[in-house]
Amino acid sequence: MSEAVSQPNSIKKILPLILATAIFMQMLDSTVLNTSLPAIARDLKESPLNMQNAIISYVLTLAVFMPASGFLADRFGTKKVFIASILLFSIGSLFCALSQNLTHLVISRVIQGIGGSLMTPVGKLALIKTFDKNELLKAMNFAIIPALIGPVLGPLVGGYMVDYLSWHWIFLINIPIGILGITLGLKFMPNYKSADVDFDFKGFLIFAAASLLLSISLELFGDLQNTTPVLVVFILGFLFMYYYYRHAKRDESPIFPLNLFQVRTFRVGIVGNLATRLGISSVPLLLPLMIQIAYKQSAVTSGWIIAPMALTAIFGKSYVIKILDKFGYRQTLMTNTFIIGTLICLLAIPDINTPLYWFVPIIAILGFFNSIQFTSMNTISIADLRNFQTSSGNSLLSVNQQLAIGFGIAFGLIVLKIFENTDLIHGEPHNAFRYTFLTIGILTIISGFVFRRLHISDGKNMKSKA
């Protein structure tokens, strides 16, 4: 069990807020852009289809640089790297707003991506090293609220900014948030370093190539008419993962040591994140799409329909610690995943004549249980890591979450397109969405069995102080 470094109470109070600032800035930025692409394309005189490069360039930069976050934090210190990452993200945001063409925008998004790939993992690492295990759950619980509300508020904020201001403001909004993060970081972020740092450059290149290829394949999976190149890239990504595995077995200090997977709670947390997010990650994308395509409503309307998810996610934060203390991680995660899967299935019940308001209570309840799910999965994954494993384990968990979200979105779109091309929908686009929700809901329920590998006593050291 790793032990926290003693820090003043003022740092312990502010540190979760600093991480929350970074997560909010990153999550809002990654979702707000989607609703603004048509407006940006018109202004830059580009085809809306080409604007996907602005999203892909950011995602690929995350995939390449995120594996190095643990090493950079150990080498240069968490404080320096965190502040530099927020500064890079803010500068990239400013350059995005000033972009005169698509090339400028893509380059600016790469700068943003370098900052984004470091600030969340390094902020989480500082949190893990600062708090005792019995305090960490409460701290992490507060810090990851933005990860739940960002994807929900993003489309809504983006829609209003484009309609009433201009697309430039979706990037400029990051500047004051970044200044707040830098100011708090300078005063309160501890600067943890590691005396023994040996960077596995070969392993980094192999793993970065694997992450890059998998991310590219996820971005291209939407095109089902030409699947061969996509599958080739996808398989190449897994071959590089296997190559990294062979490398890590031989190298004395790989960037991600294989002994991480000897820690059962970490292993279950990684697999559980990947499996359960297949369904969870696709809902914030599929539901607004259905409201706009099948129900012919505006982007702002679809944003308001899913907005209750953000409010109930915050509400769920006040209950998750009590639930985990009473039922434990194993029972909580198995039951919670079953509930989430069932709620996703319920989204398939309304037909095209059902009022939109029918979705609001389902989405609201879903937000509550998502809150419990993410906090539980994130904390059990690091529950039993030792001091020398926290940097690499936290970086790998961040990469895994990024890929898991990508897999979930890609998987939801693939299932939707498959049903669109079948006779089951009887020419009604709405039915394709209904079958998709039913499919991913059932798979989410099944994914809950991953958590059977946990023991009843797992996570006892994470129980909060009375």
378 and 144 in contact (C-beta within 8 Å)?
yes
Cα dist. 227→82, 238, 413 in Å? 39, 17, 14
| Torsion angle in degrees (nearest 10) through CA of 202, 60, 75, 85 | 170
The domain boundary residue, chosen from 199, 234, 266: 199
For tokens 């953000």, the residue is 310
The domain boundary residue, chosen from 238, 254, 270: 254
Residues recorded for the chain = 466
CA atoms of 344 and 35, how far apart (whole Å): 23
245 and 352 both lie in a single domain? no
Task: Report residue 116 CA to chain centroid gap.
Answer: 12
CA atoms of 344 and 80, how far apart (whole Å): 42
458 and 374 both lie in a single domain? yes
CB neighbours (10 Å) of residue 258?
A: 12
364 and 279 both lie in a single domain? yes
15 and 160 both lie in a single domain? yes
Single pTM value for the model: 0.78
35 and 10 both lie in a single domain? yes
Range of the domain at 111: 1-199
414 and 315 both lie in a single domain? yes
CA-atom Rg of the chain in angstroms: 21
CA atoms of 360 and 366, how far apart (whole Å): 10
310 and 447 both lie in a single domain? yes
CA atoms of 434 and 426, how far apart (whole Å): 12
CA atoms of 80 and 88, how far apart (whole Å): 12
CA atoms of 33 and 35, how far apart (whole Å): 6
Give the chain as a 3 state SS string.
CCCCCCCCHHHHHHHHHHHHHHHHHHHHHHHHCHHHHHHHHHHHCCCHHHHHHHHHHHHHHHHHHHHHHHHHHHHHCHHHHHHHHHHHHHHHHHHHHHCCCHHHHHHHHHHHHHHHHHHHHHHHHHHHHHCCHHHHHHHHHHHCHHHHHHHHHHHHHHHHHHHHCCCCHHHHCHHHHHHHHHHHHHHHCCCCCCCCCCCCHHHHHHHHHHHHHHHHHHHHCCCCCCHHHHHHHHHHHHHHHHHHHHHHHHCCCCCCCHHHHHCHHHHHHHHHHHHHHHHHCCHHHHHHHHHHHCCCCCHHHHHHHHCHHHHHHHHHHHHHHHHHHHHHHHHHHHHHHHHHHHHHHHCCCCCCCCCHHHHHHHHHHHHHHHHHHHHHHHHHHCCCCCHHHHHHHHHHHHHHHHHHHHHHHHHHHHHHHHHHCCHHHCCCHHHHHHHHHHHHHHHHHHHHHHHHHCCCCCCHHHCCCC
Number of domains in the chain: 3
155 and 27 both lie in a single domain? yes
- For residue 164, give every residue at least 6 positions away whose Cβ sits within 8 Å of its Cβ, in sequence order, or none: none
Kindly give the confidence (pLDDT) of every residue in the chain, 466 residues in length, as a single tens digit, with 9 standing for 90 and above. Answer: 444 555 666 777 788 888 888 887 777 776 677 666 667 777 878 766 566 677 777 877 887 888 888 888 888 888 899 999 999 999 999 998 888 888 888 889 889 989 988 888 888 888 888 877 777 777 777 777 766 666 667 767 776 777 777 778 888 888 888 898 898 888 888 888 876 667 778 888 888 888 888 877 776 765 556 677 778 888 898 899 899 889 888 877 788 888 888 888 888 989 998 889 888 888 877 887 788 778 887 767 777 787 788 788 878 877 888 888 888 889 999 999 999 999 999 998 887 777 888 888 998 999 899 888 988 888 888 877 777 777 778 788 888 887 787 778 778 878 888 887 777 676 677 788 888 999 999 999 999 999 999 888 877 766 554 3
99 and 86 both lie in a single domain? yes
224 and 122 both lie in a single domain? no
The domain boundary residue, chosen from 157, 182, 199: 199
456 and 326 in contact (C-beta within 8 Å)?
no
CA atoms of 16 and 190, how far apart (whole Å): 12
208 and 67 both lie in a single domain? no
CB neighbours (10 Å) of residue 61?
A: 22
264 and 236 both lie in a single domain? no
Q: Which two tokens stand for residue 314?
A: 């915050």
Q: State the CATH number of the domain containing residue 107.
A: 1.20.1250.20
